[in-house]
Structure 1
Amino acid sequence: MDRLVYTAMTGAKHILEQQATTSHNLANVSTTGFRAQLDSFRAVPVLGDGLPTRAFVVDSTAGTDFSTGSMQVTGRELDVAVQGKGWLAVEKPDGSEVYTRHGSLKVSENGILQTQDGLNLVGDGGPITIPPEVSIEIAKDGTVSTIPMGTKPGAVQVIGRLKLVNPPEENLVRGEDGLFKTKDGTAVDADPVVTVAGGMLENSNVNVVESMVSMINLARSFELQMKLLQNAENNASKASQILTLS
């Protein structure tokens, strides 16, 4: 009887983990550039005496849905959306390079072009410094240009270019901070094919309807595992009564 208990227990445990992942996706449905997490499970037959009719649930490597989200027009000069495949390269405080699709940028108090989380954008020559009192324009190829503001605007000045990359998706892993990096932690070269659209942001690629349906299915599967545990308890109780009578 304990075999049924352990089999149902593993199923319930991993269903709860999948519910947590689905809940995390739903919580980030409005997060710019978010990539939905995917859970993958596989059944492993239980080896032992008797027929191989039982199976345990085992986690496979958690994956990521890299499909592109919808585009939202903002009109803000510091908003950029990567078109198609590709990533924006940013630098973490420890100097490592990571990648994001969150294109809502800002200028720090020191004039450095950063993400909303305060990470420096990587340019072709390092961090991109924005001079004061200028209007900023980001071209399709990631080139950052400025125009002095005032009654007599000056000429357009190119101050840098965003590092746009497109590493193989199977070589990317999600960090605990939600940013992606290569499996070996090394930086990748810029890809001239990757383009961005100014004044736009990419929405999350989480499908709300599919996620809600998945939550319902998972809840029903969890109830099924609980019923199996109750049946095992009832069978054990009946067996104890029979043994007591004998």
Structure 2
Amino acid sequence: PVMGDAGPIAVPQGAQISFGADGTISAIPQGEGPEAMVDVGRIKLVTPDEQALERGEDGLFRAPPGDDGAPGVLQADEEARLVSGALEGSNVSAVDAMVSMIDVARRYDMQMKMLSTADENAQRANSILSIQG
């Protein structure tokens, strides 16, 4: 569920939804026209202090627990805005990461082949020395 100002937000199944810049979620029930649009809730927008967030074992960031051990709660930020229809950019280039991974794999293979060749050379040297001795 998505958390709203007043708790979890329930969107009617099959409804066409839209988001306002202030986090308002509006829905048009399935089979209805635009005049049937209703507000179903408002997403709680926050601006957390990055230093105060704690990373969980699942990789998600959470507010630190309260003094009583209850899950932390972040205060709503009236200045925060939601951009509908935009995609958040990534700080990782998939192509560059793939090229780097291939390069590392090739270097690893080359190093392993070099170690294998050095081991074979050492075995040959030992066999030559044992024949002479």
Structure (1/2) with the larger strand percentage: 1
**Structure 2 counterpart SS, 1:137:** strand
| Equivalent-residue separation in structure 2 for 1:170 and 1:225 (angstroms) | 44
2:63/2:73 contact within 8 Å kept: no
Tell me which amino acid in the other structure corresponds to 2:118.
A
Shift of 1:182: 3.3
1:175/1:181 contact within 8 Å kept: no
* Alignment: residue pair count: 122
| Equivalent-residue separation in structure 2 for 1:188 and 1:243 (angstroms) | 75
Question: Which residue of structure 2 lines up, in the alignment, with residue 222 of structure 1?
Answer: 108
| Equivalent-residue separation in structure 1 for 2:130 and 2:63 (angstroms) | 60
The yes-or-no answer on 1:202 pairing with 2:83 is no
2:63/2:72 contact within 8 Å kept: no
Q: Which has the higher contact order (CA 8 A, sep 6+)?
A: 1
| Equivalent-residue separation in structure 1 for 2:101 and 2:81 (angstroms) | 36
Correspondent of 2:60 among 168, 173, 180: 180
Deviations 1:8-55 (A, max 9, x none): xxxxxxxxxxxxxxxxxxxxxxxxxxxxxxxxxxxxxxxxxxxxxxxx
| Equivalent-residue separation in structure 1 for 2:63 and 2:130 (angstroms) | 60
| Equivalent-residue separation in structure 2 for 1:204 and 1:160 (angstroms) | 27
In structure 2, do the counterparts of structure 1 residues 134 and 122 end up closer, same or farther at CA, with 3 Å as the change threshold? same
Flag structure 1 segments of 5+ consecutive residues without an equivalent.
1-119
TM-score by length of 1: 0.38
Shift of 1:128: 0.9
Structure (1/2) with the larger helix percentage: 2
| Equivalent-residue separation in structure 2 for 1:171 and 1:221 (angstroms) | 38
Aligned-residue RMSD, C-alpha = 3.8
Tell me which amino acid in the other structure corresponds to 2:9.
I
TM-score by length of 2: 0.61
